Amino acid sequence: MSRFILVGLLSGVLIIMGPLGGTAQAQQSATAGIVLAQARPAPQPPNVEANIANLHRTLQITPAQEGAFDAFANVMRGNERAEASAQHQPPANASAVDELRAEIQYDEVELAGLKKLLPALEGLYSVLSPAQRQAADNTFRQGPGG
């Protein structure tokens, strides 16, 4: 049995070098090289409206906080539209270079969305009570979708 060593994980692409160890026969018969495998599946379209409603309920947004929450929710909606329109999967016959390039382009769309979301979250966070802030901290610690 041959073993492989993890070289790196970048933007969902698992890079594996091999073989290492194993029997002499496995070492002689195996070919060395790089294996690329998807470490995560293509992202599923988020149900942004369900996430917004869940966040509104979890944070127990008051009428006085609706403006800040609506601003945050609108950025979430815009980010979802931007990510949905961004090409994430390269063509089936794409090279490893094309695969990585597509992943970087998609990740740049995600990063731009996070940069837009930060000021909206700061604005919302500033009007939350201490209990609501704790709920927000716990919710965001869990990641997208709660």
5 vs 114, which has greater pLDDT? 114
For the chain, what percent of residues have pLDDT higher than 70?
Answer: 66
* pLDDT per residue as tens digits for the range 88-146: 777 788 899 998 998 999 999 999 999 999 999 999 999 999 999 999 999 988 865 44
CA distance 9 to 28: 27
Secondary-structure percent of the chain, ordered helix, strand, coil, rounded to 5: 60, 15, 25
- Considering the chain, what is the average pLDDT of its residues? 76
Burial class (CB in 10 A: 0-12, 13-18, 19+), 11: middle
* pLDDT per residue as tens digits for the range 20-76: 444 444 444 444 444 444 444 445 555 999 999 999 999 999 999 999 999 999 999
